[in-house]
Structure 1
Amino acid sequence: MSSDDTQPMQRIEPVKRRTFREQIAESLRTLIMSGELAPGSQIIEADLAERFGVSRGPLREALRQLIEDGLLVTVPYTGTHVVDLSLKDIREIFSLRTALEIFAFEQVWNRRDDSFRHELARRHDDLLRSIQAGDDEKSILDELALHSCVYEHSGHQLLLETWMGLRGKLQLYWAAHHRAHGRRGPHPEGHRLYVEAAMGTDLNAMITEVREHMLRGSSKTEAFLESSLLTGKLI
């Protein structure tokens, strides 16, 4: 009887801990993406623990998860902060990202196989479902996953690591981008064209699509972001 009681507890307890951490991380992500925790702001563990009604242990696990996701950064001697964001950052990131993504497709083009195509299609479907559901935060994560596909299949580890380093600021940018255009999630048509080109046979057409994909709506978003940064909030 006692062994029957302990066995399910051993299976269930880790799931509960993981879910609790993920719930805290999701709440923190919402605060960051909404601008309530502004870019560059310091994370005060005591305040957040009190706000969420949790102990420091699961909160720190959630913070580590968001550091891995690129939304938080640990600064020596000053603690953990929301990743900072400026117009200069965004312009540099997107000029770099354009070059990186073109290079990634040049690397992957002759390596594309059924595994790559199936994975790209699956991630595209995930993104479309998030857009249809009006889930802005999930659509940002799914958009990130979709664009990550080419880097993950490129066979170039340093390229992948460089891309991963851009994730946090990209998520903040996309949150501002969606608000600038008055929608929850990216425009489906833009990613349909991107995926069609990635599945196609013309590398030059893919390179053209990457450049156009990056430029769509960028001027309006920059104006929105500039106004948001002046007020200190991405809202």
Structure 2
Amino acid sequence: MVQLSLKRETMGSQIAALLRRAILEGEFAPGEHLIETALALRLGASRGPLREAMRQLIEEGLLVSVPYTGTRVVELSLQDVNDIYAMRACLEQFAFELAWPRRNNAFSEELRRRNDALQAAIDAADDPRAIEAELDLHGLVYEWAGNGLLLASWHSIRGRLQLYWAAHHRAHGLTGPLRESHDDYLRLATGADLDAMKNEIRNHMQRGLDRTKAFVEAQGALQG
């Protein structure tokens, strides 16, 4: 993990960013316990900001706190992968149904801007940044749908999606999604055929699913 000079006023968020990157890069393995004293020493930080950062990652779904045991990295099971796939497919299709008549030039421009940010992260071979950028790209339609409960549901699965995509990329030996992987998504999201967009969502999420499930299953067997 890269050592940073932590600024006092943003120490908690900087620690959270460091830990998030370490988790997504696989430096902290699924199920691994994070010991506060060891992390504080490694980061040169006090326990207060470290606990704040760990609470943030618990809320994001990257860490879990187990009573009498401590805090550990969340493990992805095959059921988790299936649940994520099913929930995302339903949520994102519904989001497009709500957002479809609300789209305008600002929506299209922002979608392309977020895709440019994703492309830049892919070109830099920065997988954690690419995962964040891909989440931002897919998150736009939820922001545009005008439904607060739907947006909250998206945020509730965002952390697990980070773990899913990190596993997906490792399963495919990638440092991010393929550069062209969102070309059809952008074209259809700014087009006129809602049914075609919904079909693309299903297809987009199905690609690589079986291979990712096999990777997660193999990880579980190794840890078992």
With structure 1 as the length reference, what TM-score do the two structures score?
0.85
Mapped to 1, the partners of 2:181 and 2:107 lie a distance apart of 20
The 5 A counterparts of 1:144-223 are: 144-223=135-214
CA shift in 2, pair 1:34/1:230, >3 Å: farther
Q: Can you list the C-alpha shifts for 1:81-123, whole angstroms capped at 9, x where unaligned?
A: 4333201111111011101111110110001122222221111
Q: CA deviation at 1:78?
A: 5.1
Identity %: 55
Q: Which runs of 5+ in 1 are unaligned?
A: 1-14
Q: CA deviation at 1:126?
A: 0.5
The AA in structure 1 aligned to 2:47 is R
Mapped to 1, the partners of 2:179 and 2:9 lie a distance apart of 32
State the partner residue of 1:231. 222
The AA in structure 2 aligned to 1:98 is A
State the partner residue of 1:107. 98
Mapped to 2, the partners of 1:62 and 1:47 lie a distance apart of 15
The AA in structure 2 aligned to 1:89 is D
- Asked if residue 83 in structure 1 is aligned to residue 74 in structure 2, the reply is yes
| Aligned residue pairs, count | 219
The AA in structure 2 aligned to 1:34 is E
Q: Which runs of 5+ in 2 are unaligned?
A: 1-5
State the partner residue of 1:4. none
CA shift in 2, pair 1:108/1:136, >3 Å: same
Q: CA deviation at 1:68?
A: 4.2
- Indicate conservation of the 8 Å contact 1:83/1:168, yes or no: no
State the partner residue of 1:50. 41
- Indicate conservation of the 8 Å contact 1:38/1:232, yes or no: no
